[in-house]
Structure 1
Amino acid sequence: MRLLFVVRDLGLGGVERCVVLVGSWLAAHGFEVSVAMMGGSRNLWGTRSAALNIVDLSGTWHPKKPWTWPAGWGALRGLARRHDVVIAATFLMPLYITWAATRGLGKRVLGWVHGPLFEVDERARMNPIHRRACQFIYRRLGELVFVSAHARDSMSKWLATEPGQGVPPGWRVIPNFVEAQPLRPAGLPHRPARLLFVGRVAEEKQPALWLDALVALANAGHAATLTVVGDGPLLPWLEDEAARRGLVDRLIVAGRQDDVGPWLANADWLLLTSLFEGCPLVVLEAMQAGLPVVSTRAGGVYELFAGRDVDFVTAEPTGAALAALIVAQAPHHAELAAWLRQRSEAYSPDALGARWLQLLEHPQ
């Protein structure tokens, strides 16, 4: 079977990582997998994408240059003709061009939904034209793949699905998976405790909560440090605010790292403080490493904990609540780490790859 993913490019974002991981797994199981890059020529995944056929169409079509649209449409349409299944890997541009280029071809077209779009739109206030265009297409695609039940339910709310109508038969949930992570060394938390954030330092991650948590822990007699692995537009603000609060010696900025395994292995807790999430990859990595997680109720994150979300998710999005949960977890640190490691088996590449095989080989 020939499978085509349509992306903006292959940068280091979560969507791009999922495309490479899922595509490579399917390629290893007999699929011919291509990735069409429409918005840029970056491929930052190197040998990890070696099994994929990467097709750079960004020099043919540019979304802000209307005179290139016919050529881009024709190039992707020609590529789609040679594949059995075409997947719009995310919303906005990849969704638009996939929809337009496959009209009338009789191809099987899927939309891959990575986040809770109702919350994303509510927070970011999507351009009304983009909102209507995305909603128009998603309502007409027969098959959508969601990374969490929360993302699916959010889509239903965003599209204003009639109450009681139920989930459309072509909507399926397949969570994300990540590469295997080495097990974190056993032992009690360090003193001071080592907190870790991995991701983009941006407004939707609520970085002020990280500093609030450090202060709340210190006030409760539990000193801690925070290591930030990543970069983003609010990194200068974070460093300035840490200095203003007298927390410079408690904040370690490691920058963007290709391999987060050593950072997970050296930490005591992972912080997740997002306003919204679909199926956060970094939590899956922490689970595989046996690293306890403390999270706000960030969309679909609670689904990862199989009914034990009270052990890992705060009731309120505050630094004090994060600190209180860390203090509560501390006596049970080893048990929680072992449980997360065991739970991560449900999110292994083979377990979830089998669900992709079922989806692709047995359409509803």
Structure 2
Amino acid sequence: MKIVFFVRDLGLGGVERCVALVSEGLIARGCKVSIVMLGGNRNLWAARTGTAEVIDLSGTWQGKKPWTWLAGWRAARQQIKDADILIAATFLMPLYMAYAVSRGLKTRVIGWVHGPLFELDQFATMNPIHRSACQYIYRRLNELVFVSEHARDSLARWLKQPVGDGWQVLPNFVDEKEAKIYPEKPASPTLQLLFVGRIAVEKQPHLWLETLASLNKKGIPAKLTVVGDGPLEDSLKNSAKTMKLDHQISFAGHQSNVGDYLAAANVLLLTSSFEGCPLVVLEAMPLGLVVASTNAGGVYELFGKRRSEFVVETASGEALAELISTQRRPELSIWLKQRAKHYSSGQILQQWINLCLGRKNPKNDL
């Protein structure tokens, strides 16, 4: 079976990571996989895509140069002529090209939806032309795969239609290849909080400072490490100084492997406005790292019926501090390690194989 993924490129984003890991897993199970890059020539996942055929079409077709469109269309169509399945790994460019080049062919086309598009559009206010084009295509694709039920239901709201029969949920999975065994954390009087991600508006970084301030009021000493960078970094540092919290927060910058930081933390702080299926939580689970999160959509599904022990309904530093102060971390740590087995690569990749073979995956009550 030949499967082709259309991507923008293979940078360090969550979508690109998912494409690399799913491709690697499908190849290990006997599939032939090609990854076609349409918007750039970066492949920062070469160590995980070595057995896939990675094809760079970014020099042939460029969206802002109409005179390249026909040549790009022909080159992309050539790549899928003998493919069984074409997967548009995200919306916009990969989605547009997948729809355009598959016209008249028998290739199955599947759209992969990683985030809650209704909330994303509300937050970012998508260009009206792109909004109409994406909605037009999604309404005409018979098969869509989502990383969470929340992402699925969000698309239904965005399209103003019921959930389709060909819409399946395949969550992201724990990457066991990157897992390491860490020694037990030494006891410390200071609570070690960790945030991993972009320092940007959608991550609500003001909540980090509010949480530290609220923990201080409770007499709970805490420090926060921020792994990542982004446009609000300088503003956040200035706010921390103004609130006299700068001695409680440190910035580690962007890190390609965050395992060491996860292993050293007591609580992973997730403060997003919206999420699809956050990879950092799946990295934290096998380590037993307890999570304190806002009600960011797909994240709560990872905790099943115990969501109230990890997720606050009100996005405030006071609510997060109250949750952190009452979490039974030793018990929750053990539960999270067991919970991670529900998201093992073997289990989720078998669902991908079922999808590719046209089998309906059974609904799991997690």
Say whether the fold is shared (TM-score over 0.5): yes
Check if 1:173 corresponds to 2:173: no
Written as runs of structure 1 = structure 2, the 5 A alignment for 1:260-299 is 260-299=258-297
Q: After superposition, give the CA deviation of every residue in 1:24-78 in whole Å (9 maximum; x if it has no partner).
A: 0111111111100000001111312112111000000111111111111110000
Q: Which residue is equivalent to 1:43?
A: 43
Structure 1 residues 189 and 74, CA, compared in 2 at 3 Å: closer, same or farther? farther
Question: 2:173 & 2:101 partners in 1: Cα distance?
Answer: 29
Q: Secondary structure at the match of 2:274?
A: coil
Decide whether the 8 Å contact of 1:184 with 1:290 is kept in 2: no
Question: 1:333 & 1:186 partners in 2: Cα distance?
Answer: 14
Q: Secondary structure at the match of 1:73?
A: helix
Decide whether the 8 Å contact of 1:192 with 1:223 is kept in 2: yes
Decide whether the 8 Å contact of 1:176 with 1:281 is kept in 2: yes
Q: After superposition, give the CA deviation of every residue in 1:105-139 in whole Å (9 maximum; x if it has no partner).
A: 12100000000111111111111111110000000
Deviation at 1:82, TM superposition (A): 2.5
Written as runs of structure 1 = structure 2, the 5 A alignment for 1:341-360 is 341-360=337-356
TM-score, scaled relative to structure 2: 0.95
- List runs of 5+ in structure 1 lacking aligned partners: none
Q: After superposition, give the CA deviation of every residue in 1:206-262 in whole Å (9 maximum; x if it has no partner).
A: 001001101110111001111011111111212222122212211111111111111
Deviation at 1:14, TM superposition (A): 0.3
Structure 1 residues 155 and 189, CA, compared in 2 at 3 Å: closer, same or farther? farther
Q: Which amino acid aligns with 2:332?
A: L
Q: Which residue is equivalent to 1:10?
A: 10
Decide whether the 8 Å contact of 1:5 with 1:89 is kept in 2: yes
Deviation at 1:186, TM superposition (A): 4.2
Decide whether the 8 Å contact of 1:188 with 1:334 is kept in 2: no
Q: Which amino acid aligns with 2:164?
A: P
Q: Which amino acid aligns with 2:82?
A: R
Q: Which amino acid aligns with 1:224?
A: A
Q: Which amino acid aligns with 2:324?
A: I
Decide whether the 8 Å contact of 1:182 with 1:288 is kept in 2: no
Structure 1 residues 90 and 127, CA, compared in 2 at 3 Å: closer, same or farther? same
Q: After superposition, give the CA deviation of every residue in 1:273-328 in whole Å (9 maximum; x if it has no partner).
A: 10000100001111111100000000111110011000000120001111110001
Q: Which amino acid aligns with 2:334?
A: A
Question: 2:187 & 2:237 partners in 1: Cα distance?
Answer: 25
Q: 1:196 aligns with which of 173, 194, 201?
A: 194
Q: Which amino acid aligns with 2:278?
A: P
Written as runs of structure 1 = structure 2, the 5 A alignment for 1:1-364 is 1-161=1-161, 165=162, 167-180=163-176, 181-182=179-180, 185-186=183-184, 190-329=188-327, 332-362=328-358
Question: 1:18 & 1:231 partners in 2: Cα distance?
Answer: 21
Give identity over the alignment, percent. Answer: 56
- List runs of 5+ in structure 2 lacking aligned partners: 361-366
Decide whether the 8 Å contact of 2:174 with 2:340 is kept in 1: no
Q: After superposition, give the CA deviation of every residue in 1:172-211 in whole Å (9 maximum; x if it has no partner).
A: 0000013123356446863210000011111100001001
Decide whether the 8 Å contact of 1:76 with 1:101 is kept in 2: yes
Decide whether the 8 Å contact of 2:199 with 2:228 is kept in 1: yes
Decide whether the 8 Å contact of 2:185 with 2:264 is kept in 1: no
Decide whether the 8 Å contact of 1:3 with 1:32 is kept in 2: yes
Question: 2:359 & 2:132 partners in 1: Cα distance?
Answer: 28
Q: Which amino acid aligns with 1:295?
A: S
Q: Which amino acid aligns with 1:278?
A: G
Q: Which amino acid aligns with 1:64?
A: K
Question: 2:130 & 2:59 partners in 1: Cα distance?
Answer: 23
